[in-house]
Structure 1
């Protein structure tokens, strides 16, 4: 039986005192690919923030990469995040540094200290995302799709157990969105990293169906019948 890298049971998701999602129950196994869909404001981002401990799990049980969310201590949060790759809609690359400097900075912040291992890993992930030749370029010299690929490469550097992607194609045109989605599928297959991808682009899901969680009316339903 596959091991769950994320599990939530009877979880209640809050933003401050506002209840966003009630009685959330689902698990995601190692190597699984799952969409998270719902309208803007339906709770997708709040759920993701709870999974990487940016929001506290007020009620219920949650476990991510071996950490219990309801019991996690503040000093443990960085160690949880080292096991998660987080990808945002707006790339969040440092504009004053080139790609190599961006990725080195991230790895040093994650505790890597061997320069040779850092640079070897950077080349591995850039090969995986199809951009091995952009080390000296700054973010403004890259297209939106290329910047998102670099953001995905950054998320992979620390060998995460799961990627959490919050609307990663939201700022891209349809053709680039498909390229990024196919890249997630490739990563999922090659590295056996689980992926939870929040999106409102139903066209992508219809074209490339996978297990889908649906946020609506303060609850989450598994549209594929799994839990």
Structure 2
């Protein structure tokens, strides 16, 4: 089990966002998380990667107990997961290769030959092996998101958590990015938890779906 959440309350500062959350995600599983803006999707994801503290309940992510995790352990947790955001979060002052290299060194990679080899691998995985020298502003939104996905894959994570990864893309590019997530899930067995409000994506490629609404999280899988 790569994620196990039991009777958790999710807070944003003092405000209760989601109550009594229960969520289990198996290794290699693909799960959509849907809900309106402000329904708690991002707050739940932030709790799962320990950006928000778990106030009540129990949760385990990639073997780490979030209700007991220390500040020193949080970087180690994040080496086991990959996080993809809506706004790409690429460093604008350096090219693609240096973006990825900066992340890897921050994550503890030291050997240059290992860094270069892993960067080459993930760029093939996202279908963009030949753009390492380009600057972010030279790339389309879809290309920038592929680089962000490549960055999230660098540590061979057990799970990718994606927070509205198609939110800044047009419908055609959104489908391409979803297909990339599906390919990563199928080819490498990486579990995926993808938050989205784009129901068309789910209709085209139905997977297990959980729903944030009115302060609760429910599983809609049987209704697909």
Please tell me the TM-score bracket, short chain as reference. Answer: over 0.9
Tell me the residue number matched to 2:31.
34
Residues in 2 aligned to 1:26 and 1:44: alpha-carbon distance in whole angstroms: 13
Tell me the residue number matched to 1:107.
104
Tell me the residue number matched to 1:84.
81
How far has the Cα of 1:190 moved from its partner?
A: 1.0
Tell me the residue number matched to 1:178.
175
Tell me the residue number matched to 2:4.
7
Tell me the residue number matched to 1:198.
195
How far has the Cα of 1:159 moved from its partner?
A: 0.5
Residues in 2 aligned to 1:207 and 1:190: alpha-carbon distance in whole angstroms: 20
Residues in 2 aligned to 1:86 and 1:73: alpha-carbon distance in whole angstroms: 20
1:48 equivalent in alignment to 2:48: no
Tell me the residue number matched to 1:224.
221
How far has the Cα of 1:225 moved from its partner?
A: 4.4
Match of 2:150 among 150, 153, 163: 153
Mark the runs of 5 or more structure 2 residues left unpaired by the alignment: none
**1:125-152: per-residue Cα shift (whole Å, max 9, x none)?**
0001000000100000000000000000
Match of 1:96 among 93, 98, 104: 93
Match of 1:141 among 138, 143, 159: 138
1:69 equivalent in alignment to 2:60: no
How far has the Cα of 1:26 moved from its partner?
A: 1.3
How far has the Cα of 1:191 moved from its partner?
A: 1.0
Residues in 1 aligned to 2:188 and 2:113: alpha-carbon distance in whole angstroms: 22
Tell me the residue number matched to 2:13.
16
TM-score, length basis structure 2: 0.99
**1:65-107: per-residue Cα shift (whole Å, max 9, x none)?**
0000010001110000000100000000000000000000000
Tell me the residue number matched to 1:163.
160
Residues in 1 aligned to 2:200 and 2:138: alpha-carbon distance in whole angstroms: 30
How far has the Cα of 1:30 moved from its partner?
A: 0.5
RMSD: 0.9
Mark the runs of 5 or more structure 1 residues left unpaired by the alignment: none
Runs of at least 4 residues off by over 3 Å: none
Tell me the residue number matched to 1:125.
122
